[in-house]
Structure 1
């Protein structure tokens, strides 16, 4: 089994931070997205990659810009890309 990509782990951690800052449960966030709370757990742990559309909905619900999920990431080129 492959390991989660570090960006997926980072975005999941940020999702948890924003959710907890709003004092919301995983069930609250899951209900807003019409998914099971176990799926939120997988996103937050980085085990499942959150899609762009689902991330957009989460950002709207949590009242944070989508870009905030990527804060504090290294600005180096992604693997396999050169500039």
Structure 2
């Protein structure tokens, strides 16, 4: 059975990899493992050792803590439901459109991105 922490860390690896536009093959090459192992990490099938997580964080230019952000909520939700159950509609990071929107957003220069963020906030307050 998959452990909720392994599933969460795997999701965060997949999320970050996708956000930086990296393939499983590319990440595997950077850390010296096969892409199939990256797949297993991302699904939570295999646990990521501390040293491997260190290598992955370095390759994707994030701190180790990135992979544990939001963990408390995921562990609580997993305890209340089956981990392998289909994702709820509210899980935005599963939605490809949301992922593409976030990736595009972060490719915008910072000053313009701040203005876009303010606009989105105003529009969402109106709705």
Task: Give the TM-score normalised by structure 2.
Answer: 0.56
- Computed over aligned residues only, the root mean square deviation of the Cα atoms, in angstroms, reads 1.4
Does structure 1 residue 18 correspond to structure 2 residue 22?
no
Matching residue of 2:68 = 70
Q: How does 1:18-57 map to 2 (within 5 A)?
A: 18-57=16-55
Gaps of 5+ in 2: 76-127
SS of corresponding position for 1:74: helix
How many residues in Structure 1 have an aligned counterpart in Structure 2? 74
Which protein, 1 or 2, shows the higher relative CO under an 8 Å CA cutoff with sep ≥ 6?
1
Deviation at 1:57, TM superposition (A): 0.5
Structure whose residues are more often helix by fraction? 2
Runs (4+) off by over 2 Å:
none
Task: Give the TM-score normalised by structure 1.
Answer: 0.85
Does structure 1 residue 59 correspond to structure 2 residue 96?
no
Gaps of 5+ in 1: 77-83
Larger radius of gyration: 2
